[in-house]
């Protein structure tokens, strides 16, 4: 690699950077006169000025220099802008390198295209102000700050040829997720993974306050980065002529270090944690923009964050300053008479797929290889009789995942992400062939730990989820297994990823990427040993609110349903799949053929638990979720014994989205099917895993939706017995029976008589007595009553 950049190269780089800055300012301000070939007038200015200037010149400076590095070295680089609000800078760069016009031919190279580029930015019908989904080369919007490094590491895992440059805002660096994400280097294997080059952009400010790291001494910043395992390289200043050569030299040094680390590790074939380089870039916020406006300093202050000149249309002085500012980039030297970037500068961009906007890793679906999945039926548990034998359902999934690892070892495109709970979540069979990943020393006392593992255990839901997101965005597959309550830690990331997918599927050029699969286990109902803090099913509500085009929620009631659901999710693309099932031993209901059929339908009547032959049930007992299924089936069992005259139908819902009407969700069942399951007007007692409002929301618009009486998690929890949990929340079999008895009686205008009647009040009293017995028993014996703990399904 040639060292020391020449003066001629510096001049060209500077011109390229000026072109990017010119296009950035143009996008924020202009709706006409893109090349300033006539004097700037108020009508050339957009009526609403929306965008962020402050971070943009820094982002473009880095982009231009990476172009240079790529051309010099043929490096395979993608660019993640943490401060994604600098969208106009990245748009300017992908436009200059030509990728933008290839994808969006309307925004062509030349004056008319440039005008479109400007007019579309942050305007109705145009493109958002962030480095968003429509931006070529982006796998990271940077809207919600904090995730740039987790995405970068996820992209680098199992991509040995890739360098992921992650620009970290100094404000962003104050977020919890970013602070935790430096730890990625403890999991980055120089033999089999790519490299992450963090560039901490210390422009000193966030929106209006100084940043913590911006006001810290270089020694402190150095200590932080060294402590996290990096070798920091500082580049500070504001004179472009000096900064270009310094930054080019630093990039070259960092590139050489990365190469040396990887070459050495790969030659030896042994991996250990490397001290990876990181850059600290200290430049003024709003660099090269207006020095001061209305007597107040702007460049190098927080005032540069968004739109430094805010009254350009009405204030002639602001208009003059804008024209002066844009002309300071000397557009006449940068663009030819047609408004195209002059050839000598266009030649600075890398070619083809090496352009960062065109890099296939940033359109991961282009590189996606489907997983080689084992036949999931091979892991089936035998179910001779429903509800007769308890099994740990997730353990079966662990066996299947073990073989997913085995079958995809060559493609190296599957990882399991889990906050240190793989064993706890009963997925430990994966360790028969896979190990946990760590680049730190491995002690003889450690369990299945090695630098080559693809089970990623870091006690950070943000890292787990963000790594998986980065991994799938670059076309690979995985599963994030979390305690149910703590998936809420990264719920906001789930939301942001869903938004990304919602927008991504609208763009034909973005190829489908593997789904984000989240397994929620150690659930609210069976965290009886950890207590209230661990009892929270809130992520269901979060995913329920996302668009039907991308959101999926599955509540398999047993192992065979879980296997079928997991197989489906691992094959799917472009979804957020939430799978909710507990890890504790639980009764199994369906043999594999029945489970397959049930999961294919998403919801069905469990005839074996019902005592009506698709006639006219007196009550429908429905459930979604494993523990609710146990309680509803036990309620049906009790009613069939004590009120055999009562016609009970049991419905199980595994795909929650089937409850929605088809206009809300593509899985929503048509009205005919809905009525076949739930009748048109019979009362439905619905036991639900999560907060009951979710079911009311889902069945809104269905015939007589008010007949759904939902019991769910009611924010009652503590360290107690499993049955006490359901009692406390009013979802126990006895509560469900009481509800069913009350509703079935109330629904009839005329009381049933003779052979069709049953003693409602007396039966309700029996249930109440059972609940009273429970209260006494559990306080005396500290365990559940045998009638509950040892309960099994038996035919009536």
Ligand X SMILES: Cc1ncc(C[n+]2csc(CCOP(=O)(O)OP(=O)(O)O)c2C)c(N)n1
In the bound state with ligand X, the residue whose beta carbon lies nearer, of 135 and 211, is: 211
Question: Of 625, 609, 629, which is closest to residue 617 (Cα–Cα)?
Answer: 609
In the bound state with ligand X, the residue whose beta carbon lies nearer, of 54 and 308, is: 54
Question: Of 511, 625, 517, 494, which is closest to residue 568 (Cα–Cα)?
Answer: 517
Interface with ligand X in residues 207-226 (CB under 6 A): 207, 211
As measured in angstroms, the least distance from the Cβ of 192 to Mg ion is 34
As measured in angstroms, the least distance from the Cβ of 137 to ligand X is 19
Does residue 203 bind ligand X (CB under 6 A)?
Answer: yes
As measured in angstroms, the least distance from the Cβ of 303 to ligand X is 12
Does residue 170 bind Mg ion (CB under 5 A)?
Answer: yes
Question: Of 629, 665, 621, 628, which is closest to residue 646 (Cα–Cα)?
Answer: 621
As measured in angstroms, the least distance from the Cβ of 306 to ligand X is 9
162-169 and 76-81 beta bridge pairing: parallel
As measured in angstroms, the least distance from the Cβ of 59 to Mg ion is 11
Does residue 301 bind Mg ion (CB under 5 A)?
Answer: no
Question: Of 311, 289, 312, which is closest to residue 301 (Cα–Cα)?
Answer: 289
As measured in angstroms, the least distance from the Cβ of 181 to ligand X is 13
CA 125 to chain centre: 26
In the bound state with ligand X, the residue whose beta carbon lies nearer, of 201 and 667, is: 201
Interface with ligand X in residues 556-595 (CB under 6 A): none
As measured in angstroms, the least distance from the Cβ of 305 to Mg ion is 8
Interface with Mg ion in residues 626-685 (CB under 5 A): none
β-bridge mates for residue 684, sequence order: 620, 708
Token duo for residue 637: 């069992």
In the bound state with Mg ion, the residue whose beta carbon lies nearer, of 170 and 434, is: 170
Does residue 54 bind ligand X (CB under 6 A)?
Answer: yes
Question: Of 345, 214, 344, 333, which is closest to residue 280 (Cα–Cα)?
Answer: 214
In this chain, which of 34, 57, 88, 146 binds ligand X, going by CB under 6 A? 146
Residue carrying structure tokens 């680390």: 261
β-bridge mates for residue 341, sequence order: 335
As measured in angstroms, the least distance from the Cβ of 149 to ligand X is 13
Does residue 323 bind ligand X (CB under 6 A)?
Answer: no
Q: Which residues lie closer than 8 Å to 748 by C-beta, 6 or more apart?
A: none
Question: Of 148, 8, 5, 136, which is closest to residue 65 (Cα–Cα)?
Answer: 5
Distance CA 33, CA 40 (A): 7
As measured in angstroms, the least distance from the Cβ of 375 to Mg ion is 52
Interface with Mg ion in residues 192-211 (CB under 5 A): 203
Does residue 489 bind ligand X (CB under 6 A)?
Answer: no
Interface with Mg ion in residues 171-190 (CB under 5 A): 171
Query: CA dihedral defined by 360, 361, 364, 368, rounded to 10 degrees?
Result: 90
As measured in angstroms, the least distance from the Cβ of 87 to ligand X is 11
Residue 207 contacts which entry, Mg ion, ligand X, none (Cβ below 5-8 A, type-dependent): ligand X
Does residue 163 bind ligand X (CB under 6 A)?
Answer: no
Does residue 12 bind ligand X (CB under 6 A)?
Answer: no
Does residue 395 bind ligand X (CB under 6 A)?
Answer: no
Does residue 144 bind ligand X (CB under 6 A)?
Answer: yes
Candidates 137-145, 337-345, 612-620, 780-788: pick the segment binding ligand X (CB under 6 A): 137-145
In this chain, which of 12, 119, 140, 206 binds ligand X, going by CB under 6 A? 206
Distance CA 684, CA 608 (A): 18
516-521 and 576-580 beta bridge pairing: parallel
Q: Which residues lie closer than 8 Å to 105 by C-beta, 6 or more apart?
A: none
Candidates 170-178, 254-262, 441-449, 685-693: pick the segment binding ligand X (CB under 6 A): 170-178
Question: Of 104, 85, 84, which is closest to residue 95 (Cα–Cα)?
Answer: 104
As measured in angstroms, the least distance from the Cβ of 171 to ligand X is 3
In the bound state with Mg ion, the residue whose beta carbon lies nearer, of 290 and 364, is: 290
Q: Which helix (H) or strand (E) holds 772?
A: helix 760-781
CA 222 to chain centre: 31
Does residue 284 bind ligand X (CB under 6 A)?
Answer: no
Total number of residues that touch ligand X (CB under 6 A): 21
Candidates 167-175, 401-409, 600-608, 765-773: pick the segment binding ligand X (CB under 6 A): 167-175
Does residue 201 bind ligand X (CB under 6 A)?
Answer: yes
Candidates 203-211, 247-255, 411-419, 533-541: pick the segment binding ligand X (CB under 6 A): 203-211
DSSP per residue over 333-384, as a string? HHB-TTSPBPHHHHTTS--GGGSTTT-GGGGGGGG-----PPPGGGGPPP-S
Total number of residues that touch Mg ion (CB under 5 A): 4
Does residue 692 bind Mg ion (CB under 5 A)?
Answer: no
Cβ(683)–Cβ(620) below 8 Å: yes
Distance CA 546, CA 493 (A): 13
Residue 308 contacts which entry, Mg ion, ligand X, none (Cβ below 5-8 A, type-dependent): none
At residue 408, the 3 state secondary structure works out as: coil
**Position with the least CB separation from ligand X:** 169
As measured in angstroms, the least distance from the Cβ of 89 to ligand X is 10
- 162 phi, psi to nearest 5 deg: -100, 140
> For residues 141-175, b (16+ Cβ closer than 10 Å) or e, as one string?
bbbbbbbbbbbbbbbbbbbbebbbbbbbbbbbbbb
In the bound state with ligand X, the residue whose beta carbon lies nearer, of 83 and 712, is: 83
At residue 52, the 3 state secondary structure works out as: coil
Residue 146 contacts which entry, ligand X, Mg ion, none (Cβ below 5-8 A, type-dependent): ligand X
As measured in angstroms, the least distance from the Cβ of 167 to ligand X is 8
Distance CA 16, CA 573 (A): 38
In this chain, which of 169, 194, 240, 602 binds ligand X, going by CB under 6 A? 169
- 696 phi, psi to nearest 5 deg: -60, -40
In this chain, which of 205, 589, 660, 793 binds ligand X, going by CB under 6 A? 205
Give the HSE-up count for residue 502: Cα atoms under 13 Å, Cβ half-sphere. 13
> For residues 178-202, b (16+ Cβ closer than 10 Å) or e, as one string?
bbbbbbbbebbbbbbbbbbbbbbbb
Residue 172 contacts which entry, ligand X, Mg ion, none (Cβ below 5-8 A, type-dependent): ligand X
Q: Which residues lie closer than 8 Å to 233 by C-beta, 6 or more apart?
A: 250, 253, 254, 277, 278, 279, 280
Candidates 109-117, 168-176, 313-321, 358-366: pick the segment binding ligand X (CB under 6 A): 168-176
As measured in angstroms, the least distance from the Cβ of 260 to ligand X is 30
In the bound state with Mg ion, the residue whose beta carbon lies nearer, of 171 and 289, is: 171
Distance CA 416, CA 274 (A): 23
Interface with ligand X in residues 300-319 (CB under 6 A): 305
Cβ(519)–Cβ(631) below 8 Å: no
Residue 394 contacts which entry, Mg ion, ligand X, none (Cβ below 5-8 A, type-dependent): none
Interface with Mg ion in residues 110-169 (CB under 5 A): 169
Site residues for Mg ion per CB under 5 A? 169-171, 203
Q: Which residues bind ligand X (CB under 6 A)?
A: 54-55, 83, 85, 143-146, 169-172, 175, 201, 203, 205-207, 211, 285, 305
């Amino acid at each position: 690699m040639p060292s020391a950049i020449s003066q001629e190269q510096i001049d060209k780089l500077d011109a390229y950077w000026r072109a990017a800055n010119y296009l950035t300012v143009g996008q924020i301000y202009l709706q006409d006169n893109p090349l300033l070939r006539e004097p700037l007038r108020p009508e050339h200015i957009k009526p609403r000025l929306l965008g962020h200037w402050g971070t943009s010149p820094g982002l473009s400076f880095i982009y231009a220099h990476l172009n240079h590095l790529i051309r010099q070295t043929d490096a395979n680089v993608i660019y993640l802008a943490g401060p994604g609000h600098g969208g106009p800078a990245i748009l300017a760069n992908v436009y200059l390198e030509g990728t933008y016009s290839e994808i969006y031919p309307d925004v062509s190279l030349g004056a008319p295209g440039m005008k479109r580029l400007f007019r579309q930015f942050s305007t109705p019908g145009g493109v958002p102000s962030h480095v968003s989904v429509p931006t070529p080369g982006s796998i990271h919007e940077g809207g919600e700050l904090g995730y740039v490094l987790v995405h970068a590491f996820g992209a680098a895992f199992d991509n040995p040829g890739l360098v992921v440059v992650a620009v970290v805002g100094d404000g962003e660096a104050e977020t919890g997720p970013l602070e935790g994400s430096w730890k990625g280097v403890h999991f980055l294997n120089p033999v089999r993974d790519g490299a992450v080059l963090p560039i901490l952009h210390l422009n000193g400010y966030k929106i209006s306050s100084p940043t913590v790291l911006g006001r810290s001494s270089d020694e402190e910043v150095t200590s932080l980065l060294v402590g996290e395992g990096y070798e920091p390289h500082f580049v500070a200043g504001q004179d472009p002529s000096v900064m270009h050569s310094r930054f080019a030299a630093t990039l070259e040094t960092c590139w050489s270090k990365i190469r040396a680390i990887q070459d050495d590790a790969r030659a030896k074939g042994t991996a250990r944690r490397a001290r990876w380089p990181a850059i600290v870039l200290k430049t003024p916020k709003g660099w090269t923009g207006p020095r001061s406006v209305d007597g107040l300093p702007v460049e190098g202050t927080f005032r540069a964050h968004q739109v430094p000149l805010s009254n350009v249309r009405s204030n002639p002085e602001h208009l003059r300053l804008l024209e002066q500012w844009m002309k300071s980039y000397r557009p006449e030297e940068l663009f030819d008479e047609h408004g195209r970037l002059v050839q000598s500068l266009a030649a600075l961009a890398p070619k083809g797929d090496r352009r960062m906007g065109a890099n296939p890793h940033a359109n991961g679906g282009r590189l996606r290889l489907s997983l080689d999945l084992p036949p999931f039926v091979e892991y089936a548990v035998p179910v001779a009789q429903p509800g007769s034998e308890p099994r740990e359902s997730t353990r079966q999934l662990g066996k299947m995942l073990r073989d997913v690892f085995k079958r995809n070892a060559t493609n190296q495109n599957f990882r399991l992400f889990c906050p240190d709970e793989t064993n706890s979540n009963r997925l430990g069979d994966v360790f028969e062939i896979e190990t946990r990943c760590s680049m730190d020393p491995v002690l003889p006392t450690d369990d299945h730990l090695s630098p080559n593992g693809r089970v990623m255990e870091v006690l950070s839901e943000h890292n787990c989820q963000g790594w998986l997101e980065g991994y799938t965005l670059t076309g690979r597959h995985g599963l994030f297994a979390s305690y149910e309550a703590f998936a809420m830690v990264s719920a906001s990331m789930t939301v942001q990823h869903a938004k990304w997918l919602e927008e991504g599927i609208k763009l034909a050029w973005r190829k489908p990427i593997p789904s984000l699969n989240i397994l929620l286990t150690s659930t609210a109902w069976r965290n009886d040993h950890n207590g209230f803090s661990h009892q929270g099913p809130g992520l269901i509500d979060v995913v329920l609110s996302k668009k039907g085009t991308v959101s999926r929620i599955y509540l398999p009631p047993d192992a065979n349903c879980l296997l079928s659901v997991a197989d489906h999710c691992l094959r799917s693309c472009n979804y957020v799949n939430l799978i909710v099932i507990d890890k504790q031993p639980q009764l199994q209901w369906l043999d594999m053929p029945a489970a397959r059929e049930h999961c294919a339908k998403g919801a069905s009547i469990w005839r074996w638990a019902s005592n009506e032959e698709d006639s006219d049930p007196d009550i429908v007992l429905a459930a979604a979720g494993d523990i609710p299924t146990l309680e509803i089936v036990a309620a049906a069992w009790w009613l069939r014994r004590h009120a055999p005259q009562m016609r009970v139908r049991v419905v199980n819902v595994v795909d929650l989205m089937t409850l929605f009407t088809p206009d809300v969700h593509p899985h929503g069942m048509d009205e005919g099917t809905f009525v076949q399951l739930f009748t048109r007007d019979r009362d439905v007692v619905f036991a639900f895993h999560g907060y009951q409002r979710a079911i009311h929301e889902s069945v809104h618009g269905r015939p007589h939706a008010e007949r759904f009486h939902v019991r769910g998690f009611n924010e009652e929890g503590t360290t107690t017995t499993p049955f006490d949990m359901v009692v406390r929340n009013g979802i126990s079999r006895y509560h469900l029976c009481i509800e069913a008895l009350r509703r079935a009686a109330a629904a009839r205008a005329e009381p049933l008589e003779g052979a069709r009647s049953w003693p409602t009040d007396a039966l309700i009293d029996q249930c109440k007595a059972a609940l009273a017995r429970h209260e006494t028993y559990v306080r005396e014996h500290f365990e559940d009553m045998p009638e509950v703990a040892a309960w099994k399904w038996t035919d009536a």
